């Protein structure tokens, strides 16, 4: 069955005795998510306890939401040491993986798994293996994997999130990130395509996504700026999914969470723009991040300011956030046209009129990385002109 994805990443969390925040496993939270049009909950937000995930499934059943948890056994496949495991170690990992997933399959709200987020190239053998194991054992269930955007470095390309912390993994690499593959903005589609093809060529995925957030405050002097990735990566994946026959949904920025206390609040126009661009390229939906404000963000002083409404759809105390009303309103609009989007094929995008986002070229031309600021020119990918 075709279904337009309106999801959140960062599930509601339970109570921790050593933390001052309440449980968000409540009727009020799940009712609010349902009323905002949310039909899937992905992953977790620090709380990966089995009891929390089962209570999430129970509440999802009550409110007609699908849940795709992430489980501890998944990390073995995403770690870039997978290829070094013995066959016996791999079989043991598979048994653990299958056994952990089976704990949840009796729940009607269990729709599959959110398997991985922002893995590196050297992890793709493990991810592809896990996808095959999952399909063999849980046919008809969904397996979701999320890509980094093209805003990466060498360590992230090879090692993903682990590489961002531990640096470039040791050992011989299958190719060099040099020449046309050197990680520079000019080469972004060269190295990024190498990354994406590195996984999609190994096994068929039904769902893929990416998570570049276009309204982060990169340039304080132009707070209304939009990152070009909003347009470029929607176009890129709209083309890529045609090749592989998969569905693509885009991660949506839900507020602000890392811009300091003197931060810009997201506007309805910004919420609307990222949704409309994603839909304009014929993509299959949205995943809001953060959905429920993640507990671990409260441990970071640069992010903690946003826990009471600036970031997420649901704040740390289980209340509706600053952007909740915008998302609820716009989700209803897209729900009304979802079937038309799902049954259409994107032939391309055209541009009309003048682009004015409250700054001039002279104001931005000397800013660092200013080539990332959208200036009104659509990407060449899937670009069409009037004839």
Pairwise CA distance, residues 9 & 44, whole Å: 7
Q: Which residue has the tokens 């590196």?
A: 120
Q: What 3-state class would DSSP assign to 144?
A: strand
Give the pLDDT score at 303. Answer: 84
Cβ atoms of residues 253 and 274 within 8 Å: yes
Residue 292's alpha-carbon distances to 243, 251, 311, in angstroms, are: 34, 14, 9
For the record, the structure tokens of 303 come out as: 């992010």
Enter the tokens of residue 57: 């499934």
- 290, 62, 5, 71: CA torsion to nearest 10: 60
Give CA–CA dist 87/369, Å, rounded: 46
Give the span between the Cα atoms of 86 and 366, in whole angstroms.
Answer: 53
> Tell me, what's the pLDDT at 9?
97
Alpha-carbon span 88 to 234, nearest angstrom? 41
Superfamily of domain 5-347: Glycosidases (3.20.20.80)
Three-state SS letters, 252-318: EECECCCCCCCCCCCCHHHHHHHHHHHHHCCCCEEEEECCECCHHHHHCHHHHHHHHCCECCECCCC
pLDDT at 263: 61
Output the pLDDT for position 331. Answer: 97
Question: Which residues in the chain come in under a pLDDT of 70?
Answer: 1, 259-263, 386-387
pLDDT of residue 216: 83
* pLDDT at 262 (0 to 100): 56
Compute CA distances 246 → 143, 207, 234, 242, 348, whole Å: 12, 6, 14, 7, 18
Question: What pLDDT, on the 0 to 100 scale, is given for residue 261?
Answer: 54
Specify the pLDDT at position 194: 98
Dist. CA 168–CA 34, nearest whole Å: 42
- Strand partners of residue 227: 373
> What are the residue boundaries of the structural domains of the chain, listed by start?
5-347
Considering the entire predicted model, what is its pTM? 0.95
């Amino acid at each position: 069955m075709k279904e337009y994805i309106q999801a959140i990443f960062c599930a509601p969390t339970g109570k921790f005795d050593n933390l001052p925040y309440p449980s968000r496993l409540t009727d009020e939270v799940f009712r609010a998510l349902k009323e905002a049009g949310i039909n899937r909950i992905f992953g977790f937000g620090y709380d990966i306890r089995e009891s929390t995930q089962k209570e999430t499934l129970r509440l999802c059943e009550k409110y007609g939401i699908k849940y795709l948890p992430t489980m501890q056994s998944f990390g073995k496949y995403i770690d870039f040491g997978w290829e070094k495991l013995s066959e016996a170690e791999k079989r043991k990992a598979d048994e653990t993986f299958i056994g952990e997933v089976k704990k949840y399959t009796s729940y009607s709200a269990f729709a599959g798994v959110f398997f991985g987020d922002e893995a590196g190239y050297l992890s793709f053998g493990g991810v592809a293996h896990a996808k095959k194991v999952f399909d063999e054992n849980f046919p008809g269930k969904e397996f979701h994997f999320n890509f980094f955007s093209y805003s990466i470095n060498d360590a992230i390309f090879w090692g993903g999130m682990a590489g961002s912390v531990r640096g470039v993994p040791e050992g011989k690499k299958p190719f060099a990130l040099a020449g046309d593959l050197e990680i520079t903005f000019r080469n972004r589609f060269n190295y990024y395509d190498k990354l994406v093809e590195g996984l999609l060529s190994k096994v068929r995925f039904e769902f893929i996504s990416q998570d570049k957030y276009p309204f982060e405050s990169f340039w304080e002097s132009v707070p209304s700026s939009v990152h070009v990735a909003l347009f470029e990566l929607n176009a890129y994946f709209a083309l890529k999914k045609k090749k592989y026959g998969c569905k693509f949904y885009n991660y949506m920025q839900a507020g602000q969470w890392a811009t300091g206390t003197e931060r810009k609040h997201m506007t309805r126009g910004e919420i609307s723009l990222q949704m409309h661009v994603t839909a304009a390229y014929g993509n299959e939906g949205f995943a809001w991040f953060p959905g429920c404000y993640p507990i671990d963000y409260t441990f970071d002083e640069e992010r903690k300011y946003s826990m009471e409404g600036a970031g997420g759809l649901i704040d740390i105390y289980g209340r509706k956030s600053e952007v909740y009303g915008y998302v609820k309103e716009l989700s209803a609009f897209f729900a009304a046209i979802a079937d038309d989007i799902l049954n259409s094929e994107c032939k391309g995008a055209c541009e009309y009129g003048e682009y004015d986002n409250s700054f001039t070229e002279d104001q931005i031309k000397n800013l660092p990385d200013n080539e990332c600021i959208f200036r009104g020119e659509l990407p060449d990918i899937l670009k069409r002109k009037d004839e």
